[in-house]
Chain A
Amino acid sequence: GENVEQHPSTLSVQEGDSAVIKCTYSDSASNYFPWYKQELGKRPQLIIDIRSNVGEKKDQRIAVTLNKTAKHFSLHITETQPEDSAVYFCAASNGWKAAGNKLTFGGGTRVLVKP
């Protein structure tokens, strides 16, 4: 089955700096890669996702890049703000099956943005 590795496990940045989180996956059939933000005791919130037919996607201060050949994808947060502090999870799925598709999650990255 799919295995997703996420690094780093913790990341401390100064407000205004950029944060980068990297994930690798093992199943070459995976074609959907979402990123979730989870605040303490809350639900994971989808912040951005990318499909395998796209190499990069951006939404304001957040961007995701995908390298299918190397089987890794990354989350980039620019101009970080204290409210960006949370745990971020990457995930992978081999989507589009009628029965619904399992997401395999990375181990998570705890991001702390220092004012």
Chain B
Amino acid sequence: GAVVSQHPSWVICKSGTSVKIECRSLDFQATTMFWYRQFPKQSLMLMATSNEGSKATYEQGVEKDKFLINHASLTLSTLTVTSAHPEDSSFYICSASLRGGPTDTQYFGPGTRLTVL
């Protein structure tokens, strides 16, 4: 149980284009979804927290107009990297908290590797 999926698993795009990443909780309803960014050999850095039907809360230093987050339902959140540039290349991972469960336990998706040329 508590499976989180992401799509796509990897994407290569040209500089200036926008890329959308989906995060789905497959067998549970997620109270909250989180988006992280991970550079090679580094830790997970929280980008934003989103609740269904609400605006996302972004961490300091994360541009909300650059990284658009939509949390349309209790099982789906999307991250759109707008006008991507090579420095946006990274491993993006989402996680979800189980509705009705301990709100602090997070289940992670498999990640999306973004490469911007």
Are A and B interaction partners? yes
Closest partner residue, chain B, to A110 (CB atom): B41
B97 touches A89 (CB 8 A): no
Interface residues on B, range: 20 to 34
Q: Which residues of A sit under 8 angstroms from B51, Cβ to Cβ?
A: 99-100
- Is the pair B103, A98 in contact by a Cβ cutoff of 8 Å? yes
Interface size class of A (residues with CB under 8 A): 20 to 34
Please encode chain B, from 94 to 112, with 1 for each CB lying within 8 Å of some chain A CB and 0 for all others: 0001000011111111110
Contact of B105 among A46, A102, A106 (CB under 8 A): A46
Q: Does A96 contact B44, Cβ atoms closer than 8 Å?
A: no
C-alpha spacing A97/B102, complex, angstroms: 9
Question: What 9 A-B pairs are tightest by C-beta distance, nearest first?
Answer: A100-B32, A95-B104, A32-B104, A43-B108, A101-B104, A93-B104, A43-B110, A105-B43, A100-B97
- Mark B residues whose CB is within 8 Å of A: 4, 31-32, 34, 41-46, 49, 51, 91, 93, 97, 102-111, 113
Ordered by A's residue number, 16 sampled pairs between the chains whose C-beta atoms are within 8 Å are: A36-B108, A41-B111, A41-B113, A43-B109, A44-B93, A96-B103, A97-B103, A98-B103, A99-B103, A100-B51, A100-B104, A101-B103, A103-B46, A107-B42, A107-B43, A108-B42
